[in-house]
Amino acid sequence: MDHYSTLGVNKDASAQEIKSAYRNLAKEHHPDAGGNQEKFQQISNAYETLSNPDKRAEYNVYGDNPQPRGQPRYSSHHVHINPEDMFANFFAGGRNPFGGRHGHPGQYQQQNRNIRIAMEISLEDTLDTCEKTLKITTPAGMEQNVEVKLPKGAQTGMIMRYPGLGDNTFEELPRGELMVEIHVREHPQFKRAGPNLGFDIEINSIEAILGSSTEITTLSGKTIKVTIPAGTQYGTQMRIAGHGTFHTQSAIQGDLFVTVLIKTPTNLTAEQKAMLKQINE
């Protein structure tokens, strides 16, 4: 049975007709109302596909065998939907395992489901409070702008919660909660460990023996001169205070740890090799 037959609509059905059919069938077949779990899952899968214009267009061409595509990166516009959540907060009674809001003692307030989206920021964004505007579309097709304000030191996995900005499929119920999950992109040079940052510099073995100095640019863009003492060994780590990112809770800035990597020259001339041999002897 295809998705249109599952919902009992024609292939040219409007978005409103699909939504209405889904609401009626889901109420009838939801497990909490005594329905069949497998049937409810089929209905949910059908609605998830046909309520999304892109998925519906693809389904109309390929059916249940979509063309392979690469996995999308996190995007501020990508909404993660669990079909089983759609009616999770619609049925009251007993303990609500899907996170319905509390009403009077021993009761739960019915509401639309929550929406969870992912928002990607750069490591540089964690150096200060960060404000971004997200444009999202709810499953019911409502477009909205959400102002997200992140604290210093924001970390991957942090969730910002916005009550009343979630799903609005059922107009007679309060809207759910919007949850914005933060993901900090990996940096090509700096490695993060809490509020601290790691940075590697490479010198040759002669510089390690005699000592040298070099300049590095911190995450904030400041140029710092780093002195390499004579006799430095491979893996030596130097701490530069106050040039990391921040603690999320206290907003105290972490440190920058510079690790020295020593590279052995491979293009020495015969004369240079002879000189080093003499020194070694």
**DSSP per residue over 3-57, as a string?**
HHHHHT--TT--HHHHHHHHHHHHHHH-GGGT--HHHHHHHHHHHHHHTSHHHHH
| pLDDT single digits (tens) 193-251 | 999 999 999 999 989 999 999 999 999 999 999 999 999 999 999 999 999 999 887 77
On whether both 170 and 276 belong to a single domain, the answer is no
| pLDDT single digits (tens) 113-147 | 999 999 999 999 999 998 999 998 888 888 999 99
On whether both 209 and 131 belong to a single domain, the answer is no
| pLDDT single digits (tens) 241-278 | 999 999 887 778 999 999 999 998 888 899 988 988 89
* CB-based burial label for 46 (10 Å; 0-12, 13-18, 19+): buried
Choose the final residue of a domain: 185, 213, 242: 185
Output the average pLDDT for the chain.
83
On whether both 82 and 110 belong to a single domain, the answer is yes
Rounded Cα–Cα distance for residues 270 and 266 (Å):
12
174 vs 104, more confident: 174
User: What is the model's pLDDT at position 256?
Assistant: 97
User: What is the model's pLDDT at position 52?
Assistant: 86
| Helix, strand, or coil (residue 196) | strand
Strands 223-228 and 237-240: unpaired
Highest mean pLDDT among 22-26, 83-87, 219-223, 249-253: 219-223
On whether both 37 and 25 belong to a single domain, the answer is yes
231 vs 83, more confident: 231
Residue 97 has pLDDT above 90, yes or no: no
Residue 96 has pLDDT above 50, yes or no: no
What is the rounded average pLDDT of the residues 4-26? 90
Rounded Cα–Cα distance for residues 200 and 237 (Å):
9
On whether both 104 and 124 belong to a single domain, the answer is yes
User: What is the model's pLDDT at position 65?
Assistant: 62
What is the rounded average pLDDT of the residues 74-99? 39
The tally of domains found in the chain comes to 3
On whether both 94 and 180 belong to a single domain, the answer is yes
Give the amino acid at 64: D
Question: What Cα–Cα distance (Å) separates residue 83 from each residue in 47, 109, 115, 263?
Answer: 8, 20, 11, 54
On whether both 223 and 274 belong to a single domain, the answer is yes
Highest mean pLDDT among 47-51, 71-75, 104-108: 47-51
Residue 34 has pLDDT above 90, yes or no: no
Choose the final residue of a domain: 67, 83, 106: 67
Q: Which string of DSSP letters, residue by residue, matches 223-274?
A: EEEEEE-TTPPTT-EEEETT-S-B-TTT--B--EEEEEEEE------HHHHH
User: What is the model's pLDDT at position 237?
Assistant: 95
Give the amino acid at 60: N
Helix count (H) and strand count (E) of the chain?
6, 14
On whether both 111 and 81 belong to a single domain, the answer is yes
On whether both 16 and 97 belong to a single domain, the answer is no
Q: Which residues is 237 bridged to in the sheet?
A: 259
Q: Which residues is 203 bridged to in the sheet?
A: 262
**Residues 273 and 264: beta-carbon distance below 8 Å:** no
Whole domain around residue 27: which residue ranges?
1-67
On whether both 207 and 267 belong to a single domain, the answer is yes
Supply the CATH number for residue 1's domain.
Answer: 1.10.287.110
Choose the final residue of a domain: 67, 84, 116: 67
Q: Taking the complete model, does pTM exceed 0.95, yes or no?
A: no
